[in-house]
Amino acid sequence: MQIGTIFLEFINKKYFRLLSFTLIVIILSGSEAFALDPMGPPTTGLMEGQYEFGIDYSNSTMDLKLEGGKYTEWNHTTSVTESGEAESFTLKDFEMNKIYTHLGYGIWDYCDMFLRLGIVNAEFGDSIWEAGEKFDNQSDITFCIGSRATFYEEGNLKIGRIIQLSWANLAGRLKSPQWTEDESSDIELIEIQAAIGPTYTTENGISFYGGPFFHFVSGDIEEKYNDINEYGEDITAKYTWDINATSNFGGYIGVQLDDGEYTFLNIEYQCTSGADLYSFNLIYRF
């Protein structure tokens, strides 16, 4: 029996549902893992007036440039004792875990829009202060809005574009065995992703998609801690930086499987020179 035939038998309704259930269990367990967002096919799959609902899980790691830094120190009488510029550097391997609920709507046969609402947590793979510190944050709210459009279709081939914007805020604490007190940390990230590319669907309903994409990141990070200065005064210090991505262009590939009815499963990989993402999306259309 050919390998292709075996694969197609594997993803029939029974095994598709088993695989989907397994992925839901993995997603909801929410392991601390790898800030890109899942995109899915760059072409719309919804007809006018049709809805889709799903669960999206993404696991990403990204290098962030921290620039335009400033610091301020003040004592407990709120007098500023020192201020100036903070050194710029790259924070490597910033890891994010996102779980979304997903709602999409077909505006026209060749254009849809979607909204994702979910939670996000993160950790530093690198160090800001070279003190072996760890970032500890609770799950925070994140959202994403976007739209897809198909502008060419011939047979099994579609070509289209997707554009999406996401926002996340992460409030937590930096902890180090070298410190007597934790440092508060607040990170805000805004990301825009835009891709153009094909979606090719085989006669058996398996779709392959991908293409080049643009990734824009903007945000800021604030670090605040208490210390004692050289004069023996209790002081509070605050550092802020602007956040930018180290790379803005990349490519992605994905495969979409369906159970022959209304349920779809996307498996996707995205990559730039400074970021990687793996994602799973389970979608039901109605």
Q: Are 129 and 146 in contact (CB under 8 A)?
A: no
Which H helix or E strand runs over 285? strand 275-285
DSSP one-letter string for 193-250:
EEEEEEEEE-TTS-EEEEEEEEEEEEEEEEEEEEEE-TTS-EEEEEEEEEEEES--EE
pLDDT at 218 over 60: yes
pLDDT tens for each residue of 223-259: 998 887 666 778 888 999 998 876 688 999 999 998 7
- Digit-coded pLDDT (tens) for 117-152: 999 888 877 778 878 778 877 777 889 999 999 999
Write the single-letter amino acid at 241: W
| HSE-CB for 150 with a 13 A CA cutoff | 23
Calculate ∠ Cα 246-56-54, nearest 5°.
150
- How do residues 55-71 score in pLDDT, each as one tens digit? 999 888 888 889 999 99
Q: Give the pLDDT confidence score for residue 59 in this predicted structure.
A: 87
DSSP letter (8 states) at residue 29: H
Quick one: how far is CA 30 from the chain centroid? 14
Measured distance CA(79)–CA(49) in Å, rounded: 60
pLDDT of residue 269 exceeding 90, the answer is yes
pTM for the model stands at 0.78
Among the ranges given (5-9, 80-84, 171-175, 273-277), the one the predictor scored with the smallest mean pLDDT: 5-9
Q: 261 burial class (0-12, 13-18, 19+ CB within 10 angstroms)?
A: exposed
Over 80: is that where the pLDDT of 156 sits?
yes
How many other C-beta atoms can be found within 10 angstroms of the C-beta atom of residue 151?
A: 12
- Enumerate the β-bridge partners of residue 138: none
pLDDT band at 76, cuts 50/70/90?
A: confident
Q: How far apart are CA 48 and CA 110, in angstroms?
A: 8
- CA 265/CA 253 separation, integer angstroms: 14
The angle subtended at Cα 36 by Cα 31 and Cα 42, nearest 5°, is: 120
Residue 35, pLDDT score: 58
Indicate the SS3 state at residue 286: coil
Answer with the residue of higher pLDDT: 163 or 132. Answer: 163
pLDDT at position 227? 80
Average pLDDT of the segment spanning 74-102: 83
Q: Round to whole Å and give the CA distance between 179 and 167.
A: 31
Kindly state the percentage of the chain with pLDDT values over 70: 84
Mean pLDDT of 73-101: 83
Q: Which domains does the chain have, with CATH numbers?
A: 3-285 (2.40.128)
The per-residue pLDDT for 131 is: 80
Token duo for residue 47: 């007809």
**pLDDT above 60 for 16:** no
Phi/psi zone of residue 208: left (φ > 0), alpha (ψ -120 to 50 degrees), beta? beta
